[in-house]
Amino acid sequence: EVQLVDSGGGLVQPGRSLKLSCTASGFTFGDYAMSWVRQAPGKGLEWVAFIRIKSYGETTEYDASVKGRFTISRDDSKSIAYLQMNGLKTEDTAIYYCTRARWPRVGQGWYFDYWGQGTLVIVSS
Amino acid sequence: EIVLTQSPGTLSLSPGERATLSCRASQSVSSNYLAWYQQKPGQTPRLLIYGASSRATGIPDRFSGSGSGTDFTLTIGSLEPEDFAVYYCQQYGTSPGTFGQGTKVDFK
Q: What is the DSSP string of B31-96?
A: GG-EEEEEE-TTS--EEEEETTTEEPTT--TTEEEEEETTEEEEEESS--GGG-SEEEEEE-SSTT
Q: Which among A8, A7, A39, A18 has a CA at the least distance from the CA of A89?
A: A18
Interchain proximity A109–B101, CB inside 8 Å = no
Q: Which residues in chain A have Cβ-Cβ distances shorter than 8 Å to B47?
A: 111-115
Interchain proximity B37–A44, CB inside 8 Å = no
Reduced to 3 states, what is the DSSP secondary structure of residue A81? strand
pLDDT computed for residue B98 by the predictor: 95
Percent of chain B scoring above 70 in pLDDT: 100
Query: Which of B47, B97, B100 has the CB atom closest to A109's CB atom?
Result: B97
Pairwise CA distance, residues B15 & B84, whole Å: 9
Residue A108 has pLDDT above 90, yes or no: no
pLDDT computed for residue B93 by the predictor: 93
Pairwise CA distance, residues B93 & B87, whole Å: 19
- The 10s digit of each residue's pLDDT in B57-99 is 999 999 999 999 999 999 999 999 999 999 999 999 998 799 9
Pairwise CA distance, residues B36 & B73, whole Å: 9
- The 10s digit of each residue's pLDDT in B9-54 is 999 999 999 999 999 999 999 999 999 999 999 999 999 999 999 9
Pairwise CA distance, residues A90 & A15, whole Å: 9
Residue A106 has pLDDT above 90, yes or no: no
CB A13 within 8 A of CB A123: yes
Chain B stretch 21-60, residues whose beta carbon is closer than 8 A to a beta carbon of chain A:
30-31, 33, 35, 37, 44-47, 50-51, 56-57
Pairwise CA distance, residues B6 & B21, whole Å: 7
Please give the average per-residue pLDDT across A77-93, as a whole number.
98
